[in-house]
Structure 1
Amino acid sequence: MAKKIVAVTACPTGIAHTFMAAENLEVTGKELGYDVKVETQGTSGAENVLTQKEIDEADAIILAVDRDIDESRFVGRKVLKCSVGKAVKKANEVINNAINDVGTEVIKGEKKADSSNGEKGIKSIYKHLMMGISYMLPIVVAGGILTAISFAFGIYAFQDEGSIAWGFYQTGAVAALGLMVPVLSAYIAHSIADKAGFAAGLVGGFLASTIGSGFIGGIIAGFLAGYVTLFLNKYIKVPKTIQGVKDILIVPILSVGIVGFVMLFVVGTPISAMNAGITSFLNSLNGGSIVILGLVCGLLYWDLGGPFSKILYAFAIGLISEGVYGPMAATMICGMVPPLGIAVATLVTRKMWTEEQRQAGISALFLGASYITEGAIPFAAENPIVVLPACMIGGAVGAITSLALGAGISAPHGGLFLLLIPGVITNVGGFLIALLAGTLVTAAMLIILKKITMGKTK
């Protein structure tokens, strides 16, 4: 009987890596002769959920996660923990290590996994930030698209109170986008201090919105709320008989009060000024500054949807709430160009690629059109020296062109499918020209570099 492996995959945003890792583990496991079941924890919740019986009967357990999950189901079992990216790129190694008990650890008996998952410093901070963004993302997507639909009735139609356009605008711009920063802050704090940090994070994020410190202020409020709550929980000692009073009265009052006053009297003014300065700079982009920003966008996307790409993506999302849409268009192009360029290269020079790569190129075409950069990962993992420079150069060219032509996007996801919604993309022609330019440059660079490495330079 084949050995049984169970796994959980969960990336920070719960969109692409989560499902790619699951597919790679399942396919590779089958090739190795194992029975593999993977639970995916995406933005819409857990799918293919593992039963306790399946967990108990498993010969190996893999947790390929880049954010916090409830590990209480695995208490007392040996598990192999790894990043989602490793499961995407090195599924064979991950499975073999899990089966052979290499690098595994026993999940201790605490009911909840520690919020930092044993990690410190920059990596832990990144995970908390991505947790907040993963909860915020659906709100921004819905808010941005509904707001754009309101403009389809006329740029000022939303001012007619009681009209359909007004309804779309109130729901999208006022309600959904108005909740963007508070939700971000609340779930950053929740990631750090569990549910005890939620209240202070929510209030801190709301204040960040009202005082004009926006997305940056919301991030600060979330981390402040989380760590203040952790500190209070650690150092305020009460008898067990009144522990409930501490949890629902003492800590919430103190944490909300401290975060509120810090946001109002310390953080608010300088962050608001900085936020206004960044917005003003982006609105006045021209000439050399466009080139610099475009190059930064292309270079930061070197990891194809990884941590650096997500930092740029988070920055662009924050600017949407400020009414600055150019960086989102440039960022989306940087994310679409790698898989689209690879797809074009595999279609144009079919003899340079294996049959498996040509099939993967077709998949990359659809993934790229949907703004799922991870379609380029299998190619980059196999030949990074060729693929990564081509993707970075093409992304930079596309971003610079997009910024120069004044393209903008008011929704943070969707790719070419956003063309179906009037008003989401400003200067559609400019956006498509930029996307085409970046795609063709990536394809051309990929073909040239691949020929060089194959010893077939012309």
Structure 2
Amino acid sequence: MKFVAVTACPTGIAHTYMAAEALEQAARDRGDELSVETQGSAGSDPLSEQDVREADAVILAADVGVTGLDRFAGKPVVEASVKQAVDDAASLVERAAAAEPDRTGPDSERSGPEPATKVSANASAGTRLRQWLMTGVSYVIPFVAAGGLLIALSFALGGYQITEAPDVTERFDPASLTSWAALANQIGTAAFEFLVPVLAGFIAFAMAERPALVPGFVGGAAAVAVGAGFLGGLIAGLLAGGVVAGLRRIRVPSAVAGIMPVVVIPLFGSMVVGTLMFVVLGKPIAAAMTALTDWLNGLSGANAMLLGAVLGGMIAFDLGGPVNKVAYTFAVGGLTTGSETALEIMAAVMAAGMVPPLAMALAATVHARSFSAAERESSRPAWLLGASFITEGAIPFAASDPLRVIPSMILGSASTGAMSMFFGATLRAPHGGLFVLPLVGDPLLYVVAIVSGVVVAAAVVIAAKSSLRLGAAAKERDSETEVAAAT
């Protein structure tokens, strides 16, 4: 048989490509052909028209909205998360081989003018909501990464007082390091100003396609104006997507249909969403955000350590899956507040995310006999993946022995998160791992927290695997004894 697949995860860095590789291997093992389109951060190499036309079935392994669903009209479609594709690609290929065309979903023949949605309507309500939110987050992450790194670099070059530097349009000296630091800070700050509008805009885009972009951006900008922040952006995006989806269902004369997506829907959608955010919802959401910020700033001692431990455990719970993304999104959202505690949370989350791959690489190196040849091979890239804050580097180990690996990783990551919060390490960059260490507040203590968590996780997983081996050896000896006695 011949299949096509699309893979897409929120960050578009690791899971997207790991899922693609797993699906390709599973198809080869069956003797089938499979072509994959990876809609990741590095861009997409689209499936050819011939591949789509000749495909017997389609596999969508995605945690965000998939573009171009209308290409697959009339084809049998199997939907799953990227984690399912990584963990059990063979079963997805089997399901695709047995799937029947679904002519009732959004990719079937349509009676109206509505184009293919970016998130399949066949998914459950919870899955669709998660995909809408993760689509917005996936577009925000590059803005956060660029802006956060530039701001962190400006502090490294010019100190924290660089925020008080005059506008570079009024005074800029190419020979002055302070001027370059001020320039980096002001560019990074400009990038950060897009975070909430982009989040809201692309949540709306995932829900109702291009006509929802303007109302989504307007709603996000209104959320910023009233101080509703990241939470306001989430609500504005969902609101804009819902309003536009409703407007698109209105039947209009053919003479007006042409200007609906360009003029009428953006106009009325922006008016409705902007009014609700400015007049009705904005102030209550802003009050909630203020309360959350005050609560975070008030955390200290055991409370801060507990929060770090919880977020660290969430990061390791599914190694890049939905729970991991919830913790990461919480940390990234806090960066928009600029509070000291929010920077500590970002540091704790990134430190905890580095632990699983590094711990498994360490364990497989120092206690190789407890790991298979394939796992020992996976330990080599895991060093770099862990150092780069790509938690998915531990997935090959967890997939083969989840009951021992995942609890060990949760314990190590929770330890690191708690220690990082206790030490008060701060970080403005949302990604980069050890490569942004010069931009971390209290970097030496930060490294101590990471190393401690890595050692804890590696020791626990080695102990768990060793107990398994000892138990198996004891059973074998007992069996031999019974045979000898019977003889």
TM-score interval, smaller chain: over 0.9
Q: Which residue in the other structure is 1:373 paired with? A: 391
Match of 1:243 among 249, 254, 257: 257
Q: 2:222, 2:274 within 8 Å by CA — same for their partners in 1?
A: yes
Separation of aligned partners in 2, 1:124 and 1:61: 19
Which residue of structure 1 lines up, in the alignment, with residue 426 of structure 2? 408
Partners of 1:445 and 1:295 lie apart in 2 by: 17
Partner of 1:267: 281
Among 148, 152, 157, which residue is 2:162 paired with? 157
* Aligned partner of 1:97 among 95, 105, 110: 95
Q: Which residue of 1 aligns with 2:173?
A: none
Q: Quick check: which has more Rg, 1 or 2?
A: 2
Structure 1: tracts of 5 or more residues without a match? none
Q: State the shift of 1:415 in Å.
A: 0.9
Match of 1:114 in 2: 117
Give the TM-score taking structure 1 as reference length. Answer: 0.92
Identical counterparts, % of pairs: 40
What is the SS of the residue equivalent to 1:188? helix
Q: 1:448 to 1:63 in 2, by over 3 A?
A: same
AA aligned opposite 1:101 = A
Secondary structure of the equivalent of 2:39?
strand
Matches within 5 A, 1:185-334: 185-234=200-249, 236-301=250-315, 302-323=317-338, 324-334=342-352
Q: Is the 8 A contact 2:76 2:100 kept in 1?
A: no
Contact 2:56/2:75 (<8 A) preserved: no
Letter matched to residue 313 of structure 1? Y
State the aligned residue count. 449
Q: Which amino acid aligns with 2:238?
A: F
The residue number in structure 2 matching 1:23 is: 21
Q: Is the 8 A contact 1:80 1:105 kept in 2?
A: no
1:308–1:154 distance in 2 versus 1, CA, 3 Å = same
Mean CA deviation greater in 333-342 or 243-252: 243-252
| C-alpha separation in 2, matches of 1:289 and 1:427 | 20
Among 369, 372, 384, the alignment partner of 2:402 is 384
What are the Cα deviations for residues 28-53 of structure 1, in whole angstroms up to 9, with x where unaligned? Answer: 33344333332211023203x32111
Aligned residue type for 1:61: V
Which residue identity lines up with residue 438 of structure 1 in the other structure? G
Q: Give the whole-Å Cα distance in 2 for the aligned partners of 1:76 and 1:249.
A: 32
Q: C-alpha displacement at 1:104, in angstroms?
A: 6.0
SS where residue 158 of structure 2 aligns?
A: coil
The residue aligned with 1:62 is: 59
- Gap change, CA 1:246 and 1:94, over 3 Å in 2: closer
Q: What do residues 355-394 of structure 1 show as CA deviations (whole Å, max 9, x unaligned)?
A: 1111112222221111111111222222211111111111
CA gap of 1:11–1:245, structure 2 versus 1, over 3 A, is same
Give, as a single letter, the amino acid of the residue that structure 1 aligns with 2:19: A
**Deviation beyond 6 Å, 4+ runs, structure 1:** none
Residue 103 of structure 1, CA deviation: 6.4
1:430 alignment partner in structure 2: 445
Name the structure 2 match of 1:351.
369
Q: Report the CA distance between 1:208 and its aligned residue.
A: 1.2
Question: Counterparts of 2:259 and 2:2 in 1: how far apart (Å)?
Answer: 46
Q: What's the counterpart of residue 79 of structure 2?
A: 81
Pair 1:83–1:105, CA change in 2 (3 A): farther
Distance in 2 (CA, whole Å) between partners of 1:342 and 1:104 is 42
Aligned match of 2:479: none
Q: Is this contact kept in 1: 2:319–2:394, CA < 8 A?
A: yes
Distance 1:262 1:42, change over 3 A: same
- Whether the 8 Å CA contact 2:5–2:59 is kept in 1: the answer is yes
| Aligned residues of 1:337 and 1:435 also touching (Cα < 8 A) | yes
Give the Cα separation in 1 of the matches to 2:87 and 2:270.
Answer: 43
**In 2: Cα distance, 1:72 partner to 1:247 partner:** 18
The alignment yields a C-alpha RMSD, in angstroms, of 2.1
For the residues of structure 2 that align with 1:250 and 1:96, how far apart are their CA atoms? 46
Letter in 2 for 1:157: I
Match of 2:144 in 1: 140
1:336 counterpart letter in structure 2 = M
2:69–2:118 CA contact under 8 A, matched in 1? no
Mapped pair 1:360 → 2:394: no
Q: Give the CA deviation at 1:456.
A: 4.8
Structure 2 CA distance for aligned equivalents of residues 352 and 153 of structure 1: 46
Query: Contact 1:81 / 1:104 at 8 angstroms: preserved in 2?
Result: no
Distance 1:180 1:427 in 2: 27
